[in-house]
Structure 1
Amino acid sequence: MSKLSQRLLDFNAGLLPEMVQLKYEAMAENPFRFYRGTCHLFYEDLQKAELPLSPHTWICGDLHIENYGSFKGDNKLVYFDMNDFDEALLAPASYDLLRMLTSIFIAFDSLGFEKERALKMARLFLKSYSTTLARGKAFCIEPRTAKGIVCDFLTRADQNKGKDILKKRTISKNKKIFLSLEDERHTKVDKKLKAELSAHINQWISTSNDGPYNYEVKGCVFRIAGTGSLGLKRYLFLLKSTNTKNKYLLVDMKQARPSAVAPYDPVKQLAWQTEAERITTIQKRMQYASAALLSHSLFRNESYVIQELQPVKDTIKFKQLEDYRDMYQVIDDMAGILASGQLRSGGIQGSSIIDELSAFGQSADWQDALIDYARSYSKKVKADYRQFVRDYKKGVFK
């Protein structure tokens, strides 16, 4: 067995075995999917690098080009922003930058674009990021301010209705609605666990300030989603309004795990009560508007992140972006969003103040070193991917 495969097996030990098999299967699809599922390898390898100093900020942790997307905020408006904070913590600002830059090189290579184009996009990302930081003013992207393909993306998302996602996720029988087990993303939960989960969510609804009023649980399934999060316990609930006829909500509840960045982060961390509290708190700090119903809770002594499964939540799939100009606008927006999230959370519990972040943005002497590392590491990711596929085909992961 290769050292790489042993590192993967060690990291995924303790997760749900059947779901981990799906994770390995997904990672074998292409180098970018492999990269998405191996955040821990990225930060373990990063410790060997000599990087320029950068200010400490709250970071997403697993920032890549498909961890941006649309969602409905708690103010009922639609936004385009970072949307995955499972690995979030306080760290050098360069960590998110390097993770994102590497994803650009890997994704553009997978799409067959010339290396020079990927390099231009990486430089554009750093330029837009630095410009936003230097201004010292955060912004948000919603349908009225969005441009290009992001504008089209948000406009379509804003037109989606709750009934559309209900049709996809549920079936109707005897004038009642049930979560569909014909959906490949849903699997059955045993009766005892289902009863406990339903009681837990009903209690959350009645006691949490983040919960929806006047709803009760009508169904529960195990939910399969993501790449890096496959193997975690994850449930989907169908809620029905108790005072409005035929009004439903879908709520996602995902197990929270320690950040994959934490063992390699030189910055002293806060003593969070739970991992889910860490995730939701940092998400609320960095996003302009919190995702609808974003909350956290304890179930069977394990912490979970709770939020609404929305008809508008979606991510931009880069393989669908064939026009180079579309990519240019999207990369520009993504860079500004990252800088805005860091500015928005600046000066909070150990993160650098806005003056320090602005000064970092005004300097360019650190940019080449980050691009060089990201280009080099993208080659290592492809080599690791080839080794992983060889071991996967040999049955090492079964």
Structure 2
Amino acid sequence: MAAATMTDLAQCVDPGKRRDPLDILADQAKSRVPELVPVRHARMAATPFTFYRGAAAVMAADLAATPNSGVQTQICGDAHLSNFGVFYTPERRMVFDVNDFDETSAGPFEWDVKRLAASLVVASRGNGFDAESSRKNAREAARSYQKWMQKSVTQSTMDCWYEGVAVEEMLGIIGSKLDSSTEQRAVKGLQKASHRNSIREVSKLCVFDEQGNPHIRSEPPLLVPISELASDDLADEIQGMVAERISKYRAMLPDYIKALFDQFTLVDVARKVVGVGSVGTRCWIVLLQGKGADDRLFLQLKEAQRSVLADHIPATEYPNEGQRVVEGQRLLQAASDVFLGWTTGYDENGERRDLYVRQLKDGKGSVVIEILNPKEMRLYARLCGQTLAQAHARTASRFEIADFLGTGKEFENAIADFSMAYADLNDTDHTNMLAAIDAGRIEVHDLG
């Protein structure tokens, strides 16, 4: 396909020529834990926005069917507005950045911008905003992206590499534009995130025996200790598989992180359901005990399947999908978790499963999109556009991207046109999913 002009970027896929989105979701379900697929369906069916969050594979196919800029960079692959948030850097600074890289790959830069901008329209409609306000939010994200990408080409390579949004800076930028009650709510949310760590997670996710030893609690199907997943013999086999994966994970760590990791010992393992689009992938949490009584660490081992973009664009192949996620995250994030790594192994059916590893919680938090008013959503759109540009600007593609974008309003208008049309398509897809559920063609398990 020839490279697109700026006007071409406004094109949305022809509804009559696209593959049925429900068939795409059904194909994804084949590689997932069968009893969790109805949970995923229920979460996606809740609103058009939750459907959008879970339909990254659908949008990847749709984007591949439309013209693209021809300008490639490392992209997040699923840059909707709920995949941005705050977390601690290794230096214990709280930053705002992209925080989900399950689908990361090389690809056309604007696919990330479109995924973000269309999510703003879908979320704005869900919050009851009118069409004008929804469109402005998409334009704001694209305009901010363009502004910061143009700034990047005036900076040195190292300045671009270290560029990021500290939370203190974020509040300084937007705090004066918010009313006092909204600013207080934002500060309260950040304070809540700052207290999220393994010690806090132990109190939420564990029970204690008579000796005061923690064990991961049972809340099926969302949280299930290994001992409850199968018979005793199979549970022991699964625990052995997880232990083997942790050993392989340790082997790929640099020596100084090995020295840190080796201060902990394995205590307990459980399967934990996370997110919307990720529901049904194999995701484990691992409780580790340090030298002190209250010295504990939670790690998450999350299955990394083939990126939803892989069927549509040529990309760098890694021997492990977990490595693909980790390498993409390290490239795009200003700072990453010190425990970030990957591993692999075979499940009880003999099928290979690649995973990536990270801390379960380390000051992580995200904006509650559903409570934002139009002014707050506009500011959030601007912040996400800036953050996405800074991520892309860590690559050598920033000069080519900036040259394509130019300085006029054509880019923001094209992205806004696309986003409004794609939100219409998403609404129809969501409606069709609800109809399939009502007709009994899609099973759901609503956990309330």
Global fold match (TM > 0.5): yes
1:130-169 map, 5 Å = 130-136=146-152, 137=155, 138=160, 139-147=163-171, 148=175, 153-169=189-205
**Which residue of structure 2 lines up, in the alignment, with residue 180 of structure 1?**
217
Q: How far apart are residue 325 of structure 1 and its match?
A: 3.0
- Within a 5 Å distance, the mapping from 1:216-227 to structure 2 comes to 216-227=265-276
Measured at CA, do residues 48 and 203 of structure 1 come closer, stay the same or move farther in structure 2, by a change above 3 Å?
A: closer
1:272 maps to what in 2?
318
Report Cα offsets for 1:139-183 as digits up to 9, x if no partner: 312232122356654344224454222211111222111111147
Correspondence 1:107-126 to 2 at 5 A: 107-126=123-142
Give the corresponding residue for 1:259: 307
Q: 2:33 aligns with which of 6, 10, 16?
A: 16
Deviation at 1:377, TM superposition (A): 1.2
Q: 1:37 — aligned with what?
A: 54
Go from structure 1 to structure 2 and tell me whether the alpha carbon gap of 1:42 and 1:309 turns closer, same or farther (over 3 Å shift).
same
Q: 1:11 to 1:291 in 2, by over 3 A?
A: same
Note the aligned Cα RMSD (angstroms): 2.1
C-alpha contact 2:72 2:107 (8 A) present in aligned 1: yes
Name the SS for the 2:106 alignment partner.
Answer: strand
SS state of the match for residue 315, structure 1? coil
Residue pair 1:251, 1:306 contacting (<8 A) in 2 also: yes
**Structure 2 counterparts to residues 1-398 of structure 1, below 5 A:** 3-51=20-68, 53=69, 55-136=71-152, 137=155, 138=160, 139-147=163-171, 148=175, 153-174=189-210, 175-182=212-219, 185-189=222-226, 190-202=235-247, 204-205=249-250, 208-209=253-254, 210-211=257-258, 212-241=261-290, 243-265=291-313, 268-300=314-346, 301-321=352-372, 323-344=373-394, 346-347=395-396, 352=397, 354-364=398-408, 365-398=410-443
Percent identity over paired residues: 22
**Unmatched 5+ stretches in structure 1:** none
Q: SS in structure 1 opposite 2:117?
A: helix
Deviation at 1:206, TM superposition (A): 6.5
Secondary structure class of the residue paired with 1:263: coil
With normalisation by structure 2, the TM-score equals 0.81
Deviation string 1:30-77 (CA, Å, 9 cap, x unpaired) is 1111111111111212233235x2521111001111011122223333
Structure-2 change in CA distance of 1:199 and 1:216 (3 Å)? farther
- Aligned equivalents of 1:144, 1:181: Cα separation in 2: 38
Change over 3 Å in CA distance of 1:213–1:361 after alignment to 2:
farther
Q: Which amino acid is 1:208 matched to?
A: L
Distance in 1, Cα, partners of 2:311 & 2:23: 18
Give the paired residue count.
386
SS at match of 2:32: coil
The answer on whether the counterparts of 1:131 and 1:362 sit within 8 Å (CA) in structure 2 is no
Bigger shift: residues 41-50 or 61-70 = 41-50
TM-score (norm 1): 0.91
How far 1:200 moved relative to its partner? 3.3
1:270–1:47 Cα change, 3 Å:
closer
Give, in whole Å, the separation in 1 of the partners of 2:294 and 2:20: 54
Counterpart-to-counterpart distance in 2, 1:308 and 1:22 = 24
Work out the CA distance in 2 between the residues paired with 1:77 and 1:218: 29
| Alpha-carbon distance between aligned partners in 2 of 1:71 and 1:184, rounded to the nearest angstrom | 27
Change (3 A) 1:93 1:23: same
